[in-house]
C-alpha cells in the first residue's frame, strides 16, 4: 500500500518517457533492459505497408477493368467453361451435332474464307493444339477419333479479343464444344487430315479442362527403336516404352495407336467372319480351373474361396471336349494366361488367343488348309478395309509391306526341309532340335528369299517338342505295338504358322483315342497323370466316341505386331501385362 502511494505522489519527470520512434510505429514499450525497434526495421515496415497498399490498389484497378471489359465483351456469352455435365438439370439444346468425318465428306466444296456465310456446325472435339497468333487472331487444331481439322478465332465486331485470348490459351487435350462456320482455306492444310476445310469459330466452351500432361501425345507418336537398337537422338524428346506404358491413357491418344487398335479389332472381326462362313460356332470356355492342366507348368495360382484355382493357359482341353460333345467346329476369342518369366519384345503374360478346333474327314491337312485360308482372308481384309490405318502406322515405323504368296499358295515346308535350309545357310542344328527365336527369324529370311512371302507354314514338328495331346506321325515309334527305346522320337502331325520369321499359330492333330492318349501322357518327355484332377474329365470325354480333329491357337497381338512391323508386342496390347507390369 505504501509503495502504491509512493508511486502516486512521485514527480511526473520520474516516469520514463516512451521512445518517440516506438510511439510513431505503434510499438509496445520495451521491457526493462530491452531496446525498441531500430530505425531500419521501422523504415522497412513502412515500405512493406506502402507496397501492400499499392498492390491492393492495383488489384482493385485490375478487377474493375476486368468487370468493365466483361461488361463490354460482345462475346461474353459465347465462350467459357461449362459446368460439369450431369451437375445441372438436363435441358436439350435441340441442335444436332456432327462428326468431323461427316464434315470432310459433306462439305467438299464450301464458302471461301474471304467470303461471308457458310454452313454452321456444332461438334465436340479434343484440342490437339492452341496458339495465339496476335491479339486479334488464334489458331486451334481439333481432333475427333482419327480426324483433325484447323480452326480460326478472329476478332471482329461480333467476336471479342477476350474470346481470342481465351481460345488460344486452352490447355492441350481439353475437351471442348464448338460452334462454327465451315470455310475453304486459301491453301490446303497439310498438318490436318481434313486439309480442304477449316472451321471459323463462333462459340467455344470447355467441357473438360486438361491438367498439365505427364507426357505430350506428340512425343508418344515418335517411333520406338527395335529390340537391341539405340533410340535416335534427333526428332524431339525421347519418351521410353516404360514411360508410355506408365501413362498409357495419354499414350493411347496418339493417332497411330488408334490405328493399331482399329486394326486389332479388324483381325478379330475377320477371324470370326470367315470361320462363321465355314460353319464354326463361337464358344466361351472357363478361365478359372480347379487344377493345373497341360502339364501344370507356367500357370498362375489364385485364391478361390477356401481353395486354390488356376488361370487357364488356353481353351485347348475344352475345345477338344466340345468336339467330343458333337459340336464339330468351334472357335473362341479369349484371354490367355502364361506364367512365363520372359522379358522379351514378343512375350506377354496375358494376351488374346484366337482359337479354333474342328473335325476332319481323312487327313489333318484339311484343317491346315482351313487355317491357311483363314489367315489369307485376314491379311487381304486388312489390306483392303484398313489401308488408311496401315499406311499411317507404316509412316511412323518404316517397315516394308507384308508380303503374301502369289495366288494364295502358302508354302507348307516340312520340318526336315526347314532344317536343311538352315544348314545350307551355315547353321549347325540337330534333326530334332527346337528352333530358337533367332533360328526362326533366320529361316523366315530364307523363306522370303526363296518363296517371296512373309507368311508360311512349318509342318511335321519333332514329337518330343510338342504337347502330350499331339498325334504322333504315322511312322513315329510312339505307334509301335512293341516296346521302343524312345517313344518320343520321330515327328508329329503338328504345325506352326509364321509371319516375318516369327511364330503366330501353333496347332496339331489331337489324339482322340482315350487309351492311346493315356499312354502318351505317361511316356511324354514331361509325363502327366491322366487320372489327375485337371485331366481326368478331359481324358474320359474321349471314352464315349470322338471323331478325329485338329485345330490351332493364334496369338492376336503377335499378328498385329508382325503385320505392322511394330518393334514390341506391348504396343499391340491396350494395357500390357508382363513379368514386371500389372498396372495401369
Catalytic residues: 338, 340, 346-347, 503, 506, 558
- Which three cell numbers, joined as nine digits, stand for 381? 481384309
CB atoms within 10 A of CB 278: 14
Q: Please give the order of strands across the beta sheet that includes 281-282.
A: 281-282, 329-337, 350-359, 549-555, 502-509, 494-499, 455-459, 412-414
Give the integer Cα–Cα distance in Å for 134 and 156.
Answer: 13
The helix, strand and coil proportions of the chain, stated in percent and rounded to the nearest 5, come to: 35, 20, 45
Query: What separation, in Å, do the N-terminal and C-terminal C-alpha atoms of the chain show?
Result: 82
Q: Of 116, 125, 121, 129, which Cα lies nearest the Cα of 103? A: 121
Q: Of 371, 453, 364, 380, which Cα lies nearest the Cα of 411? A: 453
Task: For the chain, give the number of residues.
Answer: 584
- Ramachandran area for residue 228 (φ above 0: left; ψ -120 to 50: alpha; else beta): left
Q: Of 172, 147, 178, which Cα lies nearest the Cα of 82? A: 178
Q: Of 526, 493, 553, which Cα lies nearest the Cα of 317? A: 553
What residues pair up with 176 in beta bridges, in sequence order?
A: 125, 206
Whether 98 and 123 have beta carbons less than 8 Å apart is answered as: yes
Give the position of cell 500500500: 1
User: What is the DSSP-derived secondary structure letter of residue 374?
Assistant: H
Cβ contacts of 509 within 8 Å, gap of 6 or more: 360, 364, 367, 470, 471, 493, 494, 548, 549, 550
Cβ contacts of 185 within 8 Å, gap of 6 or more: 113, 150, 196, 197, 198
User: What is the DSSP-derived secondary structure letter of residue 61?
Assistant: H
- Which contacts (CB < 8 Å, 24+ apart) does range 207-211 have? 207/82, 207/85, 207/124, 207/175, 207/176, 207/177, 208/174, 208/175, 209/81, 209/170, 209/171, 209/174, 210/127, 210/171, 210/172, 210/173, 210/174, 210/175, 211/171
- Which three cell numbers, joined as nine digits, stand for 459? 509342318
What residues pair up with 150 in beta bridges, in sequence order?
A: 141, 198
Amino acid at each position: 500500500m505504501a509503495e502504491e502511494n509512493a508511486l502516486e505522489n512521485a514527480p511526473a519527470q520520474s516516469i520514463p518517457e516512451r521512445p518517440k520512434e516506438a510511439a510513431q510505429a505503434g510499438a509496445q514499450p520495451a521491457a526493462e533492459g530491452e531496446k525498441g525497434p531500430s530505425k531500419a526495421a521501422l523504415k522497412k515496415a513502412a515500405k512493406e505497408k506502402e507496397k501492400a497498399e499499392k498492390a491492393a490498389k492495383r488489384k482493385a484497378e485490375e478487377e474493375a477493368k476486368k468487370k468493365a471489359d466483361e461488361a463490354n465483351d460482345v462475346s461474353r456469352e459465347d465462350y467459357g467453361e461449362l459446368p460439369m455435365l450431369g451437375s445441372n438439370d438436363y435441358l436439350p439444346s435441340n441442335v444436332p451435332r456432327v462428326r468431323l468425318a461427316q464434315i470432310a465428306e459433306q462439305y467438299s466444296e464450301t464458302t471461301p474464307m474471304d467470303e461471308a456465310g457458310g454452313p454452321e456446325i456444332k461438334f465436340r472435339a479434343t484440342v490437339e493444339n492452341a496458339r495465339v497468333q496476335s491479339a486479334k487472331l488464334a489458331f486451334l487444331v481439333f481432333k475427333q477419333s482419327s480426324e483433325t481439322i484447323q480452326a480460326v478465332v478472329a476478332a471482329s465486331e461480333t467476336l471479342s479479343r477476350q474470346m481470342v485470348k481465351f481460345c488460344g490459351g486452352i490447355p492441350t487435350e481439353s475437351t471442348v464444344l464448338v460452334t462454327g462456320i465451315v470455310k475453304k482455306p486459301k491453301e490446303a492444310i497439310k498438318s490436318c487430315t481434313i486439309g480442304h476445310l477449316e472451321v471459323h469459330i463462333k462459340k467455344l466452351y470447355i467441357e473438360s479442362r486438361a491438367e498439365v500432361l505427364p507426357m505430350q501425345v506428340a512425343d508418344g507418336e515418335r517411333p520406338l527403336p527395335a529390340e537391341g537398337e539405340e533410340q535416335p537422338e534427333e526428332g524431339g524428346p525421347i519418351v521410353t516404352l516404360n514411360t508410355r506404358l506408365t501413362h498409357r491413357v495419354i499414350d493411347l491418344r496418339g493417332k497411330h495407336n488408334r490405328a493399331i487398335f482399329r486394326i486389332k479389332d479388324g483381325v478379330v472381326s475377320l477371324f470370326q467372319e470367315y470361320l462363321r462362313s465355314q460353319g464354326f460356332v463361337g464358344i466361351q470356355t472357363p478361365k478359372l480351373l480347379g487344377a493345373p492342366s497341360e502339364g501344370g507348368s507356367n500357370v498362375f495360382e489364385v485364391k478361390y474361396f477356401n481353395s486354390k484355382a488356376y488361370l487357364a493357359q488356353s481353351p485347348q482341353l475344352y475345345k477338344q471336349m466340345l468336339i467330343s460333345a458333337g459340336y464339330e467346329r468351334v472357335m473362341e476369342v479369349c484371354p490367355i494366361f502364361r506364367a512365363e518369366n520372359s522379358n522379351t519384345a514378343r512375350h506377354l503374360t496375358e494376351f488374346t488367343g484366337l482359337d479354333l478346333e474342328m473335325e476332319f474327314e481323312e487327313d489333318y491337312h484339311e484343317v491346315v488348309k482351313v487355317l491357311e485360308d483363314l489367315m489369307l482372308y485376314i491379311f487381304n481384309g486388312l489390306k483392303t478395309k484398313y489401308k488408311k490405318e496401315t499406311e499411317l502406322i507404316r509412316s511412323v515405323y518404316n517397315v516394308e509391306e507384308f508380303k503374301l504368296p502369289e495366288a494364295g499358295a502358302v508354302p507348307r515346308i516340312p520340318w526336315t526341309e526347314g532344317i536343311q535350309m538352315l544348314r545350307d545357310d551355315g547353321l549347325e542344328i540337330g534333326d530334332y532340335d527346337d528352333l530358337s527365336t533367332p533360328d526362326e527369324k533366320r529361316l523366315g529370311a530364307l523363306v522370303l528369299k526363296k518363296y517371296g512371302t512373309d507368311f508360311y507354314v512349318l509342318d511335321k514338328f519333332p514329337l518330343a517338342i510338342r504337347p502330350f495331346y499331339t498325334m504322333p506321325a504315322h511312322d513315329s515309334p510312339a505307334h509301335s505295338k512293341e516296346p521302343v527305346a524312345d517313344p518320343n522320337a520321330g515327328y508329329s502331325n503338328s504345325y506352326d504358322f509364321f509371319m516375318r520369321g516369327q511364330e503366330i499359330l501353333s496347332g496339331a492333330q489331337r489324339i482322340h483315342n482315350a487309351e492311346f492318349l493315356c499312354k502318351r501322357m505317361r511316356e511324354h518327355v514331361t509325363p502327366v497323370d491322366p487320372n489327375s484332377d485337371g485331366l481326368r474329365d478331359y481324358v474320359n470325354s474321349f471314352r464315349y466316341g470322338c471323331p478325329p480333329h485338329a485345330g490351332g491357337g493364334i496369338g492376336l497381338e503377335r499378328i498385329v505386331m508382325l503385320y505392322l512391323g511394330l518393334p514390341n508386342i506391348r504396343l499391340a496390347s491396350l494395357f500390357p501385362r508382363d513379368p514386371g507390369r500389372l498396372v495401369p
